[in-house]
Structure 1
Amino acid sequence: MAFGSFDNSKGTTHTMAEINMVPLIDVMLVLLVIFIITAPLLSHSIKINVPQASAQPVQQEPVVIDLAVDAQGQLFWNEEAVSIDQLTSKFAGQAALEPQPELRIRADLNTRYEVLAQVMSSAKAAGLKKLGFITRPADNAASGL
């Protein structure tokens, strides 16, 4: 690196702040040569006759439990009326299945939250892990959009 000038005739003795690029270019050229030499070595492969298999993927229908709750709090398991006590035993039986079914709760707009909380807590206590809610999208005219 050049830090100063040998020309003292001007009377200025300030240092020069220039970077000497020659060593950097030398390192870059050495790396370029190394990569040029090693790149063809990385592309060699061994030819192997691998056996071919044609298997069709297994299509499994997801098991869904539709649980409806009306405005009075009555429960319907796949369109069959059940009580909260029967629901707990049904949840325990379904939680033991593999894969576990998905519980979809469809509640009336005027259903008390207490009923939904009991249903969700009994599903969790039985060990069901997949829980969803079925809703109906709002009408665009009714929402003011």
Structure 2
Amino acid sequence: MAVASTRRARRTKNEINMVPFIDVMLVLLIIFMVTAPLITPSQIDLPSVGQANRTPDVYVEVMIDKTERLKVRMGKDNQPPTEVALGQLVGRVQALSTGTENMPVLVSADKNVKYDAVMEVVRRLRAAGVQRVALSTL
């Protein structure tokens, strides 16, 4: 009698074997856990900001309120600020700073004003040639 072969053809599996991947990840985890305490934190060099000994006697103040309206006045004066549009800001600041070279400009904004509105004012002042711009909150 002949014995019939009950052998079936092997089919390849279409699955990814995760065991080697897990082994590699565990080895990397152990390496990082061992080396992390040995690494000394390095010093980070942050940019420095110049500090004035006192506030300037004369400066132009640009105020941005909650509704992003712009008001301009000479600083340290008790005069009421005048409201200006964003397109007229540079002209008004230059008119107030005539006769004074390198006049500082203080941009005071409400804490709820969007950062983009403040940076647009600073960008326009820088483009107009204003060298000294300071920031403040109302």
Name the TM-score class by shorter chain: 0.3 to 0.5
Higher Rg: 1
